[in-house]
Amino acid sequence: MPYDLKSRNVLITGGSRGLGAVITRLFASEGANIAINYVSARAPADSLAADISKEYGVKAIVVQADCGNLADCARCVQEAVEGLGGIDVLVGNAGWTQFGTFADLDALTEEEWDKCWAVNVKGQHALLRAALPTFNANPDGGAFIMTSSVAGVSQGGSSMAYAITKAAQLHLMKCLASTQGPKVRVNAVLPGLLMTEWGLKYSPEMIKSIEDRAALKMATDLVDCANAFIMLAKNSSMTGQKIQVDAGLVISSP
């Protein structure tokens, strides 16, 4: 049956800016209490927490953690559980990339490859591992939704390391979904080009090129993308699925 988000507790990593902030506001508008994770800039997280508390009357806390650090991932979940009184939905939105020429095998350093792997793959695994006991103890279980990317299902993106780690993240999602039920639902949202702080790192020429390649001739709308997270959180019959919200940038054959 549909899953009501009112009074649920939601942890959103990377939840203070960009897509994460839009996801945060939409969950709060559904009546959910929110733990907003940030890595270094506390002011935007505090401001957003104050805004949604005032506008929607929900509880909102902020949690500092680097989601490329496994110990931080575990602490982030624990502080959210303690601060909100539990967790029902976990949105693994934090991600990392370094922009570089896609075909250049020397574009990223070994350390940058490792950071992509740590944040985009290992960190997601660590987050669910930490949340799993709480999810399994919840009467209605829990939902884990990853922010992936169309880079994970194509041969392009901000860097080769990003595309490869996002592809690995999607396989992780399917492995977790197939092994961690029946009370845990695991899904992913795959955005296309988003006009966030990260997306705006592309040159105007590259942004225009990406928009022209999309079937809908536009960048992905942030609210459209964020709404997919709400749908997945509410849907009690979906797990192991990737939902692509990319304005038709990558249309795969069956």
Kindly list the catalytic residues.
148-149, 162, 166
List the end-to-end C-alpha distance of the chain, in Å, as a whole number. 29
Check residue 138 and report its DSSP letter: S
Note whether 141 and 89 are within 8 A (CB): no
- Residues 6 or more apart whose CB falls under 8 angstroms from that of 208 comprise none
- Rounded Cα distance between 190 and 249, Å, is 11
Using only C-alpha atoms, what is the Rg of the chain? 17
The DSSP string of 34-51 is EEEEESS-HHHHHHHHHH
- Rounded Cα distance between 210 and 233, Å, is 29
Note whether 219 and 211 are within 8 A (CB): yes
Which of 250, 244, 211 shows the shortest CA–CA distance to 225?
Answer: 244
Which residue reads 């990853």 in tokens?
A: 146
- Rounded Cα distance between 53 and 16, Å, is 14
